[in-house]
Structure 1
């Protein structure tokens, strides 16, 4: 069974934070502010890849981190050596634990800009310390899971079906990035990974063929294919393009396929790693079918992305499995590279707080908010609304988070679901750790309930997130108070 990381899996230390978090914590401690209850919202302002949705990922890893975060003696010794921290503060850090509450979307849910994806309610110095680690974990995994989902949706558009596997360890941002990417890609819909440590740590299905170096290590291609099939007769996938895909690789693969069948085995697949993948996959499929091997899968690799997958399908390609590497683990492509998630104070000691800036789209929303998801009669998702408490009502006015002058009235035929739940209370999980298949299944189900236009890779339909009257009124009141205090 695929499961969440075991408690023994490595996670960052308490020093995995920005220096200013610790210097602020010392200031809070010195001023007696550190125990005040703070509310922080984690959200992003812009969807990645110029797309219509994001897939929320990394929550289980984040909860594991929060439950296990401690300052070791070595950590405290290092902080003491910096000459920045007072002895009484370091002593207090020795007993520091995260004791707060976390309210969040469950992993795998589709999420959107300008809504709090995760809310931390905790003593100020606890909530402050975890900002960096939470953003690091959730920004990256959400970005990769979203990229994976886009690739999976592109592959599924083929009339012949198609799956995606993660192939990107060698191009990822270091070992930790490769492992996190393999995990997140599975949440987003990938069916497996080539990364063996990811398979061991997360229980992911492993997949792989052989390299060109294998073929080059033998006197000829046929000898290399035969040797591989002899070693793995029930799991043989052959790489066709070391010499010449159609004139050499394909005929030799067919010879080995016949030899395997004579021994009671079947060739599992062939892989294309260069050239015109649409054209080559069609020719290879025709030859395999004509030779009596319709069950042999065609795997394609070579710097694939959702746009390349869509192009292969549009040109009539017959690929069964897409091995996506660089573009997946680095989240490359238009609008990719990083998810701009932020973590902003929304309340302190029961007083609503907000960031007020000259750029309205970057202002934060004060208060403890709830996220409601409106569903149509057919179960499809229609829009999300933020309120301070009760569910939205038919006819209620909701405004655009980035433009107070843009608003609409809610229709009456929607049902409303509280989209988030408490996942950590008193520093401990409130629910058992989820398996990765559960998160993947949730992502698949949520994507199916989105309007078709929102799932489009190019020029998607905009899924609306609106502010209820109470949230908008609180924002306007707090902003007015801040301007008056500043004399603006």
Structure 2
């Protein structure tokens, strides 16, 4: 495992040095990680990367080489560098379970720790969780558009480097993909790997039929042929039928074909006609070629015969929305045992954070459908035997009262006093958790365009605290 302690912005370290010099580095503070806008301009975001965050926190330490490099920068005193020799995370971290569906402004991760520790982890925390959450959400959208058809992640060669390709594959499977072409990801995360041949295989042989026969000879029970190297309908499909007939005569069952170019709707429909005339009624028709949720939805609505999808570039890069803008903001600082709430004021209302030490509660109706989330102060309680009224934090006259409802607190301890409390789950377990949550969301929140906005409200106490702080800042 790589030591990622220096995976940080320089200003984190200059601030740590400043906190140390001013003797405030041990002050206990509260930071929140949240995002202001859903991934992919959609109606929800799937949080991913929590396991890698835990691995990072568990391995936090400054090696001798790290300290030697920092000394060479000429920015830090020997006394401060000596202090870093014994660095170890000793605070608390609360986070939603990996795979949790979340919405803007909600605390995804809350860190309560000495200031120098909480500050150092900001950059790595954001880069780990932002990217994987983005790809998990993109994959969820792509799989939703496929309406139950298997979707395979094919994006490694177009990813923004090896880490993005590998951890992106993990996130894609968590988001709903059946498997990945990335062999390293398969090994690291125990997820299915998928692949057959490329056009170079077909081109290497003297003719297409010979290439198909050679592949069928090596993989008689996993024979899925790429039929668009020369001409799908005049060459690829007729040659595939010949090879499938030969396999069938030997007692093997052909898998199907892949089409990687051209008019996928027309070619798939015509190819299926030819195969069915030849007696093949249960083949896999896989399509690739720069697919995304919009293209897949269009192909399905136009009657394409495709029943399996290989999605690469636009998934692994989340092409039309290439970043999740998760942020990490100071929400409070302790004076002894008393928390002093902190707020960032901005002319842009969306950049004003919610102050204090908080938690998030999800409210479900009697049919176990998610109706709203409530951000509350950490020590607040809800009596579910009584009606619960929430209100829009901006349009405060808009209310909703729940009678028959249940609640779930979304954050759980990852670390307490520096001790890891996280219980690792397999990628498949996280994927199932995502699917179960997805079924509690109304379809209106899943739309690709103009999704309904999910209700995220503030408790009375938090709303009052925030309003009072904003009023006090106006008088400064």
Task: Please indicate, yes or no, whether the TM-score normalized by the shorter chain is above 0.5.
Answer: yes
**What are the superposed Cα offsets for residues 152-202 of structure 1, whole Å, 9 maximum, x if unpaired?**
00001xxxx411110001111011111111010011000100011111111
Shift of 1:268: 1.6
Aligned match for 1:184, one of 171, 183, 192: 171
In the other structure, the counterpart of 1:198 is: 185
* 1:405 Cα deviation from its structure 2 partner: 4.3
Q: Gapped runs of 5+ residues in structure 1?
A: 1-9
Show the counterpart of 1:229: 216
What does residue 309 of structure 2 align with? 322
2:342 matches 1:353? yes
1:382: which partner in 2?
Answer: 371
Report what 1:44 is aligned to. Answer: 35
- The SS at the match of 2:434 is helix
Alpha-carbon distance in structure 1 between the residues aligned to 2:94 and 2:158: 34
d(CA) in 1 for partners of 2:415, 2:142: 32
Looking at structure 1, the residues matched to 473 and 146 of structure 2 have their Cα atoms a distance apart, in angstroms, of: 50
The 8 Å contact of residues 14 and 70 in structure 1, kept in 2 or not, is answered as: yes
2:427 equivalent to 1:436? yes
Rounded Cα–Cα distance in structure 2 between residues aligned with 1:257 and 1:98 = 60
- How far the C-alpha of 1:12 sits from its partner, in A, is 5.0
For residues 9-63 of structure 1, the C-alpha deviation after alignment (integer angstroms, 9 at most, x for no partner) is: x345211000000000011111111111111100001112221111111111111
Give per-residue Cα distances to partners, 1:371-416, cap 9 Å, x unaligned: 010101110101101111212763534233xx26464233223221
CA distance in 2, matches of 1:165, 1:30: 52
1:30-429 equivalence runs, <5 A: 30-156=21-147, 161-333=148-320, 336-349=321-334, 350-388=339-377, 389-391=380-382, 394-400=387-393, 403=394, 405=396, 407-429=398-420
> How far apart in 2 are the matches of 1:189 and 1:101?
31
Whether the 8 Å CA contact 1:66–1:427 is kept in 2: the answer is no
Q: Secondary structure in 1 aligned to 2:180?
A: coil
The offset of 1:138, in angstroms, is 0.5
1:363, distance to aligned residue in structure 2 (A): 0.5
Contact 1:43-1:118 within 8 A present in 2 as well:
yes
Label 1:149 to 1:282 Cα distance change in 2 as closer, same or farther (>3 A). same
Alignment of 1:438-457 (within 5 A): 438-457=429-448
Distance 1:63 1:380, change over 3 A: same
Give yes or no for contact 2:54–2:422 (8 Å, CA) kept in 1.
Answer: no
Q: For 1:410, what is the secondary structure of its paired residue?
A: strand
Conservation of the 8 A alpha-carbon contact between 1:13 and 1:71: no
Q: Deviations over 1:206-236 (max 9, x none)?
A: 1012111111111000000111111111222
* Count of aligned positions: 468
| Deviation string, structure 1 residues 298-332 (Cα, Å, up to 9, x no partner) | 11100000000000100001212111101001011
Q: Which moved more, 1:340-349 or 1:229-238?
A: 229-238
Q: Distance in 2 between matches of 1:103 and 1:141?
A: 18
Looking at structure 2, the residues matched to 270 and 395 of structure 1 have their Cα atoms a distance apart, in angstroms, of: 55
* Bigger mean CA offset, 254-263 vs 69-78: 254-263
Q: Distance in 2 between matches of 1:429 and 1:294?
A: 53
Separation in 2, partners of 1:419, 1:147: 22
Is 2:29–2:330's contact at 8 Å kept on the other side of the alignment? yes
2: CA distance, partners of 1:368 / 1:15: 28
Aligned 8 A contact 2:390 2:457 in 1? no
Query: Residues of 2 paired with 1:297 and 1:34: CA distance?
Result: 60
User: C-alpha deviations, 1:456-481, integer Å up to 9, x for none?
Assistant: 11221111101111110111122223
Change (3 A) 1:406 1:58: farther
| Aligned-pair CA distance for 1:96 | 0.5
Q: Would you say the 8 A contact 1:37–1:121 is kept in 2?
A: yes
SS in 1 for 2:448: coil
Report if the CA contact (8 A) 2:3-2:59 is conserved: no
SS in 2 for 1:135: helix
Q: Residues of 2 paired with 1:27 and 1:48: CA distance?
A: 35
Q: Could you list the runs of 5+ residues in structure 2 that have no partner in the other structure?
A: none
Residues 29 and 407 of structure 1: CA distance in aligned 2, closer, same or farther (over 3 Å): farther
Q: CA 1:154–1:11 in 2, change beyond 3 Å: closer, same or farther?
A: farther
What is the rounded CA distance, in whole Å, between the counterparts of 1:426 and 1:298 in structure 2?
A: 53
Alpha-carbon offset, residue 426 of structure 1: 2.6
SS in 2 for 1:251: helix
